[in-house]
Every structure is written in C-alpha cells, then in structure tokens.
Amino acid sequence: MNVNFINPFLASLLNVLETMANMKLTPGKPNLKQDNIAKGDVSGLIGMVGPQTKGSLSITFEAPLILEIMHKMLGEKPQNINEEITDLVGELTNMVTGGAKKLLGEKGYNFEMATPVVVSGKAHTIAHKSDGQKIVMPFSSEFGNAYIEICFER
Amino acid sequence: MNVNFINPFLASLLNVLETMANMKLTPGKPNLKQDNIAKGDVSGLIGMVGPQTKGSLSITFEAPLILEIMHKMLGEKPQNINEEITDLVGELTNMVTGGAKKLLGEKGYNFEMATPVVVSGKAHTIAHKSDGQKIVMPFSSEFGNAYIEICFER
C-alpha cells in the first residue's frame, strides 16, 4: 500500500463532515489492520477499479455518531438506524471516495467507483479480502468513533 | 434492470456450490427488493464497474448453511463465523461474480470486478444504494438460506 493513498481518504472524510455537518472529527494514527477490530453499527462500502489497481473502501460509524451527523445536517435525529440513515451513509461513502478519487487523480492514480452498499447491524465487523495491505484510519469525536478502511491490491 | 442480468448470477452460485461443495441449493423466485429483508450472518460484497453500467453484488448466508458448506468443502466445521469462513465467503463471492461476468461478457455486457469485502454480524441487513432496481434471489436448503442481491445503475 502506497502511503500516498492514505491521506486523500483521511482528508476527504474530515472535509466532507466539516462542510456538510459542521462536525469535526479527530483523526487517530492510521495503522495496518491486523484483525477485524473495527466494530460499528452502520458501514458504507464501495469498490474501486482502475488500470493500475483495484480495491475496496469501508466507512464504519458507531450509531450515536451517525445519528448526530444526521441531526447536524438535517435538524432531525432518528432514534435508530433507519433508511434515512443508510441513505446518508451511502451518500457520505460516495462523497468521501469521490473526494479522494479527485485528489489521487491529480497524482496520476486513477480509478472508477462502483456503487455503494450500506450494511446495518449491531457491532458488525468487516474484512477486506484482497492481497494488499489493509489500512485502518480511526476517527474519534465526543459522539462516538468512525473508521475508514481501505485495501488496494498490489 | 435487464432480466438477462439475473440468470447468470443465479446459475453461477448453483454451479459454484455444486462443483466445490457438492451442495445443491433450491432457487426461489427472483424479486424486486422492496426493503432490506434479506437478513443473514455473513455476507460477501463486491463492486462492479463497466463501460455501460456499474453496480454491486452481495451474497448473504445464514450461519448454519455456510458452516455446512465449509464442512463439505474442507471436512472441518468451525463452531462459528471465523476468519476461515470469511475467507471462504470472499472466495465464493469472487467465483460467483467471476462466473456471471464470463456469461455476461459472452452477451456483450462487460464489467470489471473490484475486490470483495466480507461482513460478519448476526442478522445484519444490506442496502444497495444506486439508482437502479435491486433484485434479490433467494436460495434455500436444509441447512439454511442464502440470498444474492444485485443492483446495476441504469
């Protein structure tokens, strides 16, 4: 995994949430994922296919955090993960990946995005199955944690 | 959603499981997914990107069924969804999508596959977020149920 691949995704999530929801997350240290420790309640996943590489991205939110993001963006706060929330997670997944795609395209790394899929289920785990290294980027906030995981094939 | 897109995925899952695990599933009637009703315990997801369309696929298994598939393929039967099982689900997702890709390529529909992602979590649900229709294909067996869901953008 080229380290140049990490920062565009990290910067894109921070930018999207600050712009859309006036929400500041604190990024932790990106690390190589050794096991499936990033547990969350709702995740957006998207596939990426390019001439040099292919891979997958997931963004996982703990429920209180995504509910607060919805509250800040739309003024309403559902009690649990409903279809509005999964729609929002799908949109955020598209926006974050699209922002990183633009930044990486400027560096000569190009890929196309598939369409996002959103998984709901209490404390589910995600395993990216490709030959490449898995990078997990943790984010924290007073409302809960989020994780981006990316994996590109060598 | 072109109906020609459905049968290759259905046929590919039946073929992969019969060839690899000597396991016969009974296909139910494919239908348009109205809500997120396909619950399962482990799912493989993969993105697809082509010149005409892009989309996503998921294959969801109930735990007793995937544990029995592992048993038939490898002679061992873990007690729960472990990393061997998620590796197997990732492989099956690649094989089923690859089989359908070959059949669809012969008809002039081409796409590239991203890398698979496997989600574990009791009774999770999956929502494909794209503009296209979502098709769900149910499969049953004495050991439990499986579902393929596919969604392609128009």
Is residue B35 scored above 80 in pLDDT?
no
ipTM rounded to 2 decimals? 0.90
Q: What is the pLDDT of residue A35?
A: 66
Band of the pLDDT at A37, cuts 50, 70, 90? low
Q: What is the pLDDT of residue B2?
A: 64
Is residue A38 scored above 70 in pLDDT?
no
Q: How far apart, in whole angstroms, are the C-alpha atoms of residue A64 and residue A41?
A: 9
Q: What is the pLDDT of residue B85?
A: 96
Cβ of A7: how many Cβ atoms within 10 Å? 15
CB contact under 8 A, A115 and B124: no
- Domain segments of chain A as ranges: 3-152
Considering CB atoms only, which of B35, B119, B123 is closest to A126? Answer: B119
Q: Which fold has domain B3-152?
A: Chemotaxis protein chec (3.40.1550)
Considering CB atoms only, which of A86, A123, A129 is closest to B117? Answer: A129
> Which residue in B47, B116, B108 sits closest to A115, CA to CA?
B47
Most A-contacting residue of B117, B125, B135, B136 (CB-CB within 10 A), to test interface: B117
Q: Output the furthest CA–CA distance in chain A (Å, rounded).
A: 43
Q: How far apart, in whole angstroms, are the C-alpha atoms of residue B129 and residue B35?
A: 12
pLDDT digits (tens, 9 = 90+) for A11-26: 999 999 999 999 999 9
> Which residue in A115, A47, A44, A50 sits closest to B151, CA to CA?
A115
Sole residue written with tokens 């196309």? A112
CB contact under 8 A, A124 and B129: no
Is residue A154 scored above 90 in pLDDT?
no
* Chain B residues contacting A via beta carbons under 8 Å: 35-36, 43-49, 54-56, 58, 83, 86-87, 90-91, 93-94, 112-130, 132, 151, 153
Considering CB atoms only, which of B122, B126, B132 is closest to A117? Answer: B126
Band of the pLDDT at B32, cuts 50, 70, 90? confident
Mean pLDDT (chain B) is: 92
Q: How far apart, in whole angstroms, are the C-alpha atoms of residue A99 and residue A117?
A: 18
pLDDT digits (tens, 9 = 90+) for B61-105: 999 999 999 999 999 889 999 999 999 999 999 999 999 999 999
Band of the pLDDT at B36, cuts 50, 70, 90? low
CB contact under 8 A, B47 and A130: no
DSSP string, A83-146: HHHHHHHHHHHHHHHHHHHHHHHHTT---EE---EEEEEEEEEEEE-SSSPEEEEEEE-TT--E
